[in-house]
Amino acid sequence: MRSPAKLIAAFAVVAIGAFAAFLLTPQRSAPEARFSLLSGKSFVTSELRGKVTVVNFWATWCPDCVKEMPKMIEAHRKYSARGYETVAVAVRDRPERVAEFARKRALPFTVALDAGGDVSRLFGNVRITPTTFIIDKKGRMLRRFVGEPEWSEFDRIVEKALAEPA
């Protein structure tokens, strides 16, 4: 008979492996999420098909999010003319703070609010900010970065995705 500690350890290894496989499975489809914008309008993930899309989960109170935002702006400006879209999803944040942040920094991309956590849950229960997803033109998730992206890898993935046909 196996000891409880060995059974728990075996279960943990299997669970971690299954979770890692889920997160790292290449080219799984992005979830069909509804993004609620600061303007009050909304759209769904499938409306972004045909574009390489970055979905960035962030918050105004998150120092690492604020630190990476100039690079997100730079990437958006660098690639947007080539069919690239950025959706910055503010999580656990007050709409007025998000609106003020976006206005002061002249964010050139779409800013959404995830007050209820629905979008975060659909994207794999995002709990750490910043977390960034790169989605290709066909709606497949190419990469997830937890924390600030490694920007040379980010650029490499985006460039390759932009070069692919829709």
The residue extents of the domains of the chain are 28-163
pLDDT at 10: 43
Angle separating helix axes 151-163 and 63-79, nearest 10 degrees: 30
pLDDT at 166: 81
pLDDT at 3: 57
Single pTM value for the model: 0.83
Return left, alpha or beta for 43; rule: phi > 0 is left, psi -120 to 50 is alpha, else beta: beta
Domain 28-163 fold is: Glutaredoxin (3.40.30)
Q: If you average pLDDT over residues 46-75, what whole number do you get?
A: 98
